[in-house]
Structure 1
Amino acid sequence: MSQSVFLTGATGFVGGALLRRLVADNFSVTAAVRNGAVLDASGVDIVAFESFESARWDECLTGIDVVVHCAARVHVMDDKEADPLVAFRKVNVEATLNLAQKAAEAGVRRFVFISSIKVNGEGTALGRPYTAEDRPAPGDPYGVSKMEAEQGLRALAARIGMEVVIIRPVLVYGPGVKANFLNMMRWLDKGLPLPFGAINNGRSLVALDNLVDLIITAATHPSAANQTFLVSDGEDLSTTQLLKKMASALGKPAHLLPVPSWMLSTAATMLGKQSLSQRLCGSLQVDISKNKELMQWTPPVSVDDALKATAHHYRELKK
C-alpha cells in the first residue's frame, strides 16, 4: 500500500518537481495550492486556500502519513518590507508551526521541513564545510525565520511525538531554474566575456533531481526520523569551474577573463554588492556524509548530467 503525502508548495520549482516524482513513484498525493493555481499532474487531490497563513488544515490531513512542507516566503534581494523579519516569521515560522500542530493532531507520522543552508550561515572557509550538527548562525531575516521554524518543530516533536525531518538545501539548479543561475546561462549563451576566470573558491550546489530524491528518501527512511540533513551534489566547484561546465553543457565557449578575486571583491564592495561578491567569490561547502551513513543515500545524478538537462531545457524554451 502506497504512503499518503500532503505536499505544500506544489507549484514551486522544488515542489513541482517533487510532485511529479511522487506521482511517478505511486504515492497517494494531496497538494495544497493557492486559489486559482493550476497543477500539471493527474491523480492528485487538491486543497485550495486563499492564504497559507490563514489556511485551515483540520480536515485535509486526515489519513495522511507524511507532510512535506516546501511552501515558504523565500529569500528575496532588496526586500521592500518595512520589517522583513516580521514578514518572514508570519509565513515561515507561525504558519509552518500551525500546519505541523494540525498534522500532529491528525495523526501524521512524519513532517519533512524544507529549510535552508542559510540557517548554518552565509559562507565557509575553503575546505571547511558546514555539517548538520554545526551551531546555527543565520545572517539575514530569512535564515533567522527558517532557524526559528526548525526550533519550533523540534520542540513540537519532543512534546507530541510526531517525527520531524529537516532538510537544508544549498543553491538548487535544474530545468526551469531562475534568478542568478539563469542569468549566468544567458551570459554564457550570448558569448559575453566574464571576469570570473581566476576564482578559486568552493561552492556546493544541488541538482533538482538530487534534492527531490533526498526528500523522498528522508520522508520514508526509518533512520531519518528527527534528523537534520544538508544536501548537495557531493561535488564542489569553484565559480570558474561551474561556468566552464555550464558553457560546455550549452555547447558554447566560455570567455572567462582571469581577474583576481580580490579585485572583484573590492569592486563589488565599492558598488554596494557585497552579497553578490560573496556568492561569486566566496566559499560555501557542505558535508553530506551523514546522509550516506544514516540513509545510505548518495546523489543519483552527476553534476555534468544535471547541467546538461538544465541547458537542454533552457535551449528548448528559446525555440
Structure 2
Amino acid sequence: MNIIITGASGFVGANLTAYINKKGYASEALSLRGDWLKQFNPSAGAIIHLAGKAHDLENTSEEAEYFKVNRDLTIALFNEFLKSEIKDFFYFSSVKAVADTADGILDENVKPNPLTPYGKSKWEAEQYLLAQQLPGDKRLFIIRPCMIHGPGNKGNLNLLYKVVKKGIPWPLVKFENQRSFLSIDNLSYLIHQMLNNKTVASGIYNFADDEPLSTNQLINNINEVLNKKSKFLSIPKGLIEAVAKVGDFLRLPLNSERVKKLTESYVVSNQKIKNALRVDKLPLTAEEGIQKTIKSFKKI
C-alpha cells in the first residue's frame, strides 16, 4: 500500500516514514508548497497529514500564517481526499487544539477552549473535517498528540539536557507537576496499527505514552543517563516567575512560556486508542522513551 505523508522531512515525518517503510509500506512524500496537486496521488491507500506550522514559543509569528497553513491547507488536502480513491486520512492536530492547560486527565470529550493562534487554527481545521460527509468506505482520524520526542529531536528536552549536563542545579524543584509525553516509537506503532486494523472507527484519538512523568523525574532520568547525581536548588516559585517575566521582555531563553512548558501539569489519556486497538500497553514506557531520547543527545 502507498502512504502519502505530508511534512515527511520533519522530525515526526522522517521517523514515521522510516518506520512504515520497514513494515512493507511504500511512502510518498508530498510537499504542500507550490502546485502540490501535480504530485498528488489519488490512488494511494492513505494520507498522513503532518505538515503544519508549529507553535512559536517566542510568539514572533503572524497569526494569519497559522490559519493559512494549519487550517486552509488541511481543508484543501482533505477535499482532494474526498474526491480520490484513498481510504484513510490521518490529520495530526494537537491536544492544544482543545486545551492550553489541563486540569485532571485530558480525554477526547473535553470541552474545546484553544487560546493560541496555533491551537485555534488546529481546532478550526478539525471542525471542518468533522463537518464533511464521509463516504462509507473512507475513514477520518484526527490525532491529538501531546509533546512528541525521540532521538535527534530538539526542543525543551534538549534544553533541559544541556542545563543538567553542565552540572547546573535544577532550580524548579518547587514546581510539582505531572506531564504526558509521546515517544516517536509509540507514535509510529499506533499509526501502523491503525493502518492495519480496519475495525478502528473514524474519530478523534489522543496519542500519549502510558504514564505521565514529573519534571523532577526527567531531571533524575537525565542524570541517570549521564551517570551523575541529581542536583536540585530550592528557589521559591514566585522568584522564578518574576525572572521569567524579565525574560519575556528581553527575549531570553528563560521566559514565562518556557517555564510553563517545563513545570505545568498536563496529563493526557490514551485509553480510547488502546481500547480501539485492543492493546493493554504501548511498546515503550514513558521512562524508556525519555531515556532513549536523552541517550541520543550524548551523541550530538
- Give your verdict on TM over 0.5: yes
Q: Percent identity?
A: 26
Deviations 1:297-319 (A, max 9, x none): 432112232233222321222xx
Deviation at 1:79, TM superposition (A): 3.6
5+ residue gaps, structure 2: 249-254
Tell me the distance in 2 between the aligned counterparts of 1:29 and 1:250: 37
Once the two structures are superposed, the pairs formed by residues 114-193 of structure 1 within 5 Å of their partners are: 114-125=92-103, 128-156=104-132, 158-160=133-135, 162-193=138-169
Assess if the C-alpha contact under 8 Å between 1:199 and 1:260 holds in 2.
no
Secondary structure at 1:6 match in 2? strand
1:294 aligns with 2:282: no
Deviation at 1:94, TM superposition (A): 0.9
Amino acid at match of 1:27: Y
CA distance 1:95–1:172, shift in 2 (3 Å): same
Amino acid at match of 1:113: Y
Deviation at 1:274, TM superposition (A): 2.9
Assess if the C-alpha contact under 8 Å between 1:250 and 1:311 holds in 2.
no
User: What is the TM-score when the length of structure 2 is the normalising length?
Assistant: 0.90
Deviation at 1:203, TM superposition (A): 0.7
1:23 aligns with 2:21: yes
Secondary structure at 2:112 match in 1? coil
Tell me the distance in 2 between the aligned counterparts of 1:173 and 1:103: 29
Once the two structures are superposed, the pairs formed by residues 64-103 of structure 1 within 5 Å of their partners are: 64-81=44-61, 83-84=62-63, 86-103=64-81
Deviations 1:242-267 (A, max 9, x none): 11112212323321212344443344
Assess if the C-alpha contact under 8 Å between 1:10 and 1:16 holds in 2.
yes
1:214 aligns with 2:190: yes
Amino acid at match of 1:306: G
Secondary structure at 1:67 match in 2? strand
Tell me the distance in 2 between the aligned counterparts of 1:10 and 1:80: 25
Which of residues 216, 220, 241 is equivalent to 2:217? 241
Residue equivalent to 2:266:
284
Tell me the distance in 1 between the aligned counterparts of 2:60 and 2:298: 33
Assess if the C-alpha contact under 8 Å between 1:250 and 1:308 holds in 2.
no
Aligned residues: 292
Tell me the distance in 2 between the aligned counterparts of 1:121 and 1:247: 32
1:308 aligns with 2:286: no
CA distance 1:8–1:266, shift in 2 (3 Å): same
CA distance 1:80–1:124, shift in 2 (3 Å): closer
Residue equivalent to 1:41:
none
Secondary structure at 1:224 match in 2? coil
Tell me the distance in 1 between the aligned counterparts of 2:195 and 2:51: 16
Deviation at 1:53, TM superposition (A): 4.9
Task: Between 168-177 and 296-305, report the one with greater CA deviation.
Answer: 296-305
Tell me the distance in 1 between the aligned counterparts of 2:208 and 2:10: 19
Secondary structure at 1:237 match in 2? coil
5+ residue gaps, structure 1: 34-51
Tell me the distance in 2 between the aligned counterparts of 1:159 and 1:80: 37
Deviation at 1:296, TM superposition (A): 1.8
Tell me the distance in 1 between the aligned counterparts of 2:267 and 2:180: 5
Which of residues 151, 173, 195 is equivalent to 2:171? 195
Assess if the C-alpha contact under 8 Å between 1:53 and 1:91 holds in 2.
no
Deviation at 1:186, TM superposition (A): 0.9
Assess if the C-alpha contact under 8 Å between 1:188 and 1:252 holds in 2.
no
Amino acid at match of 2:296: H
Computed over aligned residues only, the root mean square deviation of the Cα atoms, in angstroms, reads 1.9
Deviations 1:126-164 (A, max 9, x none): xx11111112111100011111111111123x2555321
Structure number with greater CO (CA < 8 Å, separation at least 6) is: 2
Tell me the distance in 1 between the aligned counterparts of 2:173 and 2:289: 22
Deviations 1:72-116 (A, max 9, x none): 1111122434x41x1111111111111111122111111001111
Amino acid at match of 1:145: S
Assess if the C-alpha contact under 8 Å between 1:58 and 1:102 holds in 2.
no
Task: Between 233-242 and 246-255, report the one with greater CA deviation.
Answer: 246-255
